Every structure is written in C-alpha cells, then in structure tokens.
Structure 1
Amino acid sequence: MDSLTQIVLGAAVGEAVLGKKVGNKAMLYGAIAGTIPDLDILASYVTDTVTALEIHRGFTHSIFFSVFFAPIFGWLVSRYESYKDFKAWSWLFFWAFLTHPILDAHTTWGTQLFWPLEYRLAFKSIFVIDPLYTLPFLLFLILAMFQKRDAPKRRLYNKVGIIISSSYLLLTFVLKGMAFNEFEMALKDQHIEYSEIETKPAPFNTILWSANVETKNNYLIGYYSFFDTKPIHFVSYPKNHDLLGELIQDEKVQRMIAVSKGWFTITKKENGLYYNDLRFGLLSLKPNSQNFAFQYEIKTTNSGKVSFVETKKNREDAKQLLSDLWMRLKGN
C-alpha cells in the first residue's frame, strides 16, 4: 500500500500495543516501524531493474524480518526512551512490521511473506491507494491522538478505526468474488476459450474491476463496474513472445518473466523491443490503448548483456486515467 496508509496502520498498531503506557509516542514509533519495510525500494538506486523488482516486497516484508528485527529495534528504543520495557517495545515493532506486509499481500504485487521461500502472496483485492480504506482509518487515528493516553475514548477511537479498515478489507474479497463471477459468465456467454483468468480492482476504488484473461496467442483485458448495464467487452493484446527470439533464453529475461508471473506482452517499436507487465494494467481505459502502467525497454549491449529500462510516465497520463476511471466507474 502507499506510504500514508502504512504510516496510519503502523501508528494504529503502535497505539493498540503501547498507547496506554507512552501515549502519542506509541503512534510515532508505530508509524516509523510501518514505513521501514518499504526501505527495500532503495535497491533501485544501487542495482539493476530486474534485481530491484525481485527484492521489492521480499525480505523486508517477511515474517522472518519481523521476528528478527523487532527485538533489535525494541532494544534500541528502550535504551534511550524513559519507558524501558524492552519486551513491550519489541512487540510494538513486531506487530507494526508484520501488519505492513499482511496488508500489502492484498494488493496485486503481493509480498514474499514466507521468505526465503520464493512464493509471493497476492490476493489482488485492493489497489495500492484506496481512499475508502485509508481516510476513515486516518480520521479515527487523529481523534484518538487528541485524547489523553489513559482516556477510554482514545482506545475506543483507535479500535473503531481498526475495525472499519479491517471490515472494508474483508469486503474487498466479497466484491472481488462478485466481479470474478461476472467475468466468468461473460467469457462463457461470448464462447471465449481461455486457460487462466485473474481479477483485480481498478485504481483507487473497488467498484470498477479489471480482468486479465489468457488465451492461446493473446491476452484479453476487460473491465466491469457494479453499475454496468451492458455486456463486458474484452480487448485483445497479442502476446508476441516470439519477438524475443533468442533473448527468451537470456537469464535476465527469464527472471523478468518470473517477476511478472508470465503475464507479459512484447511490443516492437522503431527503437527496439518493449516488455509490458500486464498485471498492473494500463494508464488509459480507451480501447486498444498501448499505454501500459509498467513498460520496460529491452536494451542489449554489443557484448550481449541485457537490461530493462522502465519507460517514463507523465502527469497527463495520470490526469487522463483519473478521467477515464470516473467515467467508466459510473457504468458502461
């Protein structure tokens, strides 16, 4: 999830664990702990694109990280804070560390929660930024913040925030199931043979959902809103995996394919080949759009070394996407 959401979650967890003892400091340290797992993003500055993608939401988002590093941070804080309970501080960091990847596991990217196992847990039930999850949570956290640390209302507000956010997270599974059924029925009604289907919410909401559908030579992308009155329309994107040629055997290309779980297409342009990760959709909802959210130029040196360079995005893409989402969310 986005940084603000993880800060709010960490602060609420910190308050639940230690708020009665240390007041707002529990929120502060919980918020800090809630951001620490995302420091793995710094890997993009010191390594290549593929390795950085492999590292993201890996070790720092694991149960192992929570168990091993919580006592270290707990000990450090207990050394200089007036409240010296090492065990209590360790529990605060443990729960803040652990709830971070559990929440992230509900997104499309998922988390390597059981590191060092390579399996990545991804429920794909919520977008990385969802105001309906974050804003009520934030509101009740702020209300709790302005209460005295031993005030009953303080704990009540924090509990209400946690309950509302958790309930919404559970609701996303119900909504995902409903959308999945609609996509399945549409594929059946349109006599489309497919081998695999995955669904995920469109950005910033859980009313509009998208589906990636794998067929023999193509991937289909469709959208469904709970306000739709017309049949679901699927747009076809050729896999074009053959365009990779001998590059398909390259070790880095194989790693990139593993990162994207095989959901990718290849686009050929005048200046070379581009790798499109389909899991995160497009930055436009217009039919046959080629504006993929995550697209990488495949570069090859004279010595045969392969690298992936992410294409730049601009503000106009974001503005267009917001406009498209609002119109499509209201129904087809």
Structure 2
Amino acid sequence: MDSLTQIVLGAAVGEVVMGKKVGNKAMLYGAIAGTIPDLDVLASHVTDTVTALEIHRGFTHSIVFCVLFAPALGWLVSKYETHKHVKDWAWLFFWAFLTHPLLDAHTTWGTQLFWPLDLRLAYKNIFVIDPLYTLPFLGCLLIAMWYKRTSKKRRFYTYLGLILSSSYLFITVILKGLAYLQFEKALTDQNITYIKMDTRPSPLNTILWNANVETKDHYLLGSYSFFDTAPMSFTAYPKNTALLGDLILHEKVKRMIAISEGWYTISENNGQLYFNDLRFGLMSLEPSSQDFVFRFLIETHPNGVVTFTEQPRNRENARQLMAALWSRIKGN
C-alpha cells in the first residue's frame, strides 16, 4: 500500500501495543516502523532494474526481517527513551513490521512474506491506494490522538479505525469474487476458451475490476463495473514471445518473466523491443492501447549484457486516465 496508509496502520498498531504506556510516542514509533519495510525501493539506485524488482517487497517484507530487526530497533529505542523495557519496544516494532507486508499481500504486487522461499503472496483485492480504506482509518486515529493515553475513548477510536479498515478489506475480497464470476460468465457466454484468468481492482476503487485472460496465443484484457448494463468485451493482445528469439533463454529475461508471473507481452516499435507487464494494466482506457503502466525497453549491448529500462509515465496520461476511470466506473 502507499506510504500514508502504512503510516496510519503502523501508528494504530503502535497505539494498541504501547499506547497506554507511552501515549502518542507509540503512534510515532509505530508510524516510523510502518514505513521502514518500504526502504527496499532504494535498491533501484544501486542495482539494475531486474534485481531491484526482485528485491522489492522481498526480504524487508518477510517474517525473517521482523524477527531479526524488531529486537534490534527495540533495544536501540530503549537506550534513549524514558521507557526502558526492550521487550515492549521490540513487540511494537515486530507487529508494525509484520502488519505492513500482511496488508501489502492484498495488492497486485504482493509480498514475499515467507522469504527466502520463492513464494509471493498477492491476493489482488485492493489497489495500492484506496481512500475508502485509508481516510476513515486516518480520521479515527487523529481523533484518538487528542485523548489522554489512559482514556477509554482513545482506545475506542483506535480500535474503530482498525475495525473499519479491516472490514472494508474483507468486503473487497467478496467484491473480487463477485467480479470474477462475472468475467467467468462473460467468457463462457462468448465461447472463449482460456487457460487462466487474473483479476484486480482498478485504481482508487473496488467498483471497477480488470481481468487478464490467457489464451493460447493472446492475452485478453477486459473490465467490469458493478454498474455495467451492456455485455462485457475483451481486447486481445498477442503474446509475441517469438520476438524475443534467443533472448528468451537469457538468464535476465527468465528472471523478468518470473517477476511478471508470466503475465507479459512483447512489443516492437522502431526496431526496439519492449517487455509489457500486464499485471498493472494500462494508462489508457482506449481500445488496443499500448500504453502499459509498466513497460520496459529491452536492450542487448555489444558485450552481451541485457538490460531492462523502465519507460517513464506521462503525467498528462495519468490525469486523463483518472477522468476516464470515473466515467467507466459509472457503467458501460
């Protein structure tokens, strides 16, 4: 999830663990702990694109990280805070660290909670930014801050925020299931034979859902809003894996395919090859758009090194997408 959401969740967890003992400092340290796992994004500044993608939401989002670093940071904080119980601080950091990847596991990218095992949890039932999850939670926490640490109302509003956000998360799982059934029905009605299907919510909401459908030679992309009245349609994108040639055997290309979980297409433009990660959809709702959210230029250098370079996103396209999304959410 986005940084604000993880700060709010971390602060709430800190309050639950140590709020009665240290007051707002529990929220402060919980908020800090809630952001620490995302420091793995710094890897993009010191390593290549493929390795950075592999690292993202890996070790720092694992149980191993929680177990190793919570006691260390708990000990460090106890050295300069007036509350000297290392166990209390370690427990705060442990739960703030652990709830971070547990929440991230509900997003499209997911987390490697059981690192070093090569198993990424990605339930794909909530977008990385969802105001309905975050804003009520934040409001409850801001109210709780104004009460004394021993106040029952402080605990009430903290738990209310946790209950509201968790309830919404549970509802998104139900909505995902309902949307999946609609996609499944549409494919059956249209006599489309497919290998597998993957669904996820569109940005900032859980009313409009997107589906990637794998067939023998193509991927079909479709969308469904709970307000739709017209039949569902799908846009076909050829896999084009043949464009890779011998590159498909290259170690770095294999790693990139593994990162995308096999949901990718290859496109060619002016003699250049691009790797399109389908899991995050498009920056446009226009039919047959090639403006994928995550698009990487594949280059083979004279020394044999293969590199992937993420292509920049157009902010104007992002603004247009938000407007188009709002219109699409209201139904086709």
Q: In the alignment, which residue of structure 2 is the partner of 1:317?
A: 317
Query: Are residues 1:280 and 2:280 paired?
Result: yes
Query: Are residues 1:49 and 2:46 paired?
Result: no
C-alpha separation in 2, matches of 1:37 and 1:109: 14
Q: In the alignment, which residue of structure 2 is the partner of 1:71?
A: 71
Q: In the alignment, which residue of structure 2 is the partner of 1:330?
A: 330
Shift of 1:59: 0.3
Q: In the alignment, which residue of structure 1 is the partner of 2:218?
A: 218
Q: In the alignment, which residue of structure 2 is the partner of 1:37?
A: 37
1:80-105 deviation per Cα after TM superposition (whole angstroms, max 9, x unaligned): 10011111111100000000000000
Q: % of aligned pairs identical? A: 68
Q: In the alignment, which residue of structure 1 is the partner of 2:137?
A: 137
1:219-259 deviation per Cα after TM superposition (whole angstroms, max 9, x unaligned): 00000000000111100000000000011111100000000
SS of 1:278's equivalent in the other structure is strand
Shift of 1:281: 0.3
Matched AA of 1:238: P
C-alpha separation in 2, matches of 1:132 and 1:272: 41
Shift of 1:144: 0.3
Q: In the alignment, which residue of structure 2 is the partner of 1:58?
A: 58
SS of 1:128's equivalent in the other structure is coil
Q: In the alignment, which residue of structure 2 is the partner of 1:298?
A: 298
Query: Are residues 1:197 and 2:217 paired?
Result: no
SS of 2:111's equivalent in the other structure is coil
C-alpha separation in 2, matches of 1:294 and 1:320: 17
Q: In the alignment, which residue of structure 1 is the partner of 2:242?
A: 242
User: Which has the larger displacement, 308-317 or 218-227?
Assistant: 308-317
Q: In the alignment, which residue of structure 1 is the partner of 2:116?
A: 116
Matched AA of 1:85: H
C-alpha separation in 1, matches of 2:267 and 2:310: 14
C-alpha separation in 2, matches of 1:290 and 1:111: 27
Structure 2 unaligned runs (5+)?
Answer: none
1:22-76 deviation per Cα after TM superposition (whole angstroms, max 9, x unaligned): 0000000000000000000000000000000000000000011111111001000
Q: In the alignment, which residue of structure 2 is the partner of 1:3?
A: 3
Q: In the alignment, which residue of structure 2 is the partner of 1:178?
A: 178
Structure 1 unaligned runs (5+)?
Answer: none
Could you tell me the TM-score, scaled by structure 1's length? 0.99
SS of 1:243's equivalent in the other structure is helix
RMSD: 0.5
SS of 1:182's equivalent in the other structure is helix
1:186-206 deviation per Cα after TM superposition (whole angstroms, max 9, x unaligned): 000000000000100001000
Q: In the alignment, which residue of structure 2 is the partner of 1:101?
A: 101
Matched AA of 1:141: L
1:130-184 deviation per Cα after TM superposition (whole angstroms, max 9, x unaligned): 0000000000000001111111100000000000000000111100000000000
Shift of 1:271: 4.4
Query: Are residues 1:264 and 2:275 paired?
Result: no
1:278-299 deviation per Cα after TM superposition (whole angstroms, max 9, x unaligned): 0000011111111100000001
Shift of 1:317: 1.3
Once superposed, which parts of structure 1, at least 4 consecutive aligned residues long, lie more than 3 Å away? none
C-alpha separation in 2, matches of 1:226 and 1:95: 36
C-alpha separation in 2, matches of 1:93 and 1:174: 31
C-alpha separation in 1, matches of 2:73 and 2:314: 39
C-alpha separation in 2, matches of 1:304 and 1:70: 43
Q: In the alignment, which residue of structure 2 is the partner of 1:206?
A: 206
C-alpha separation in 1, matches of 2:325 and 2:116: 38
Matched AA of 1:289: S
Matched AA of 2:281: G
Matched AA of 1:313: R
Shift of 1:304: 1.7
SS of 2:279's equivalent in the other structure is helix
C-alpha separation in 1, matches of 2:246 and 2:198: 29
Matched AA of 1:265: T
SS of 1:293's equivalent in the other structure is strand
C-alpha separation in 2, matches of 1:265 and 1:290: 10
Query: Are residues 1:152 and 2:152 paired?
Result: yes
C-alpha separation in 2, matches of 1:82 and 1:204: 41
Alignment length (residue pairs): 332
Matched AA of 1:129: I
Matched AA of 1:264: Y
SS of 2:292's equivalent in the other structure is coil
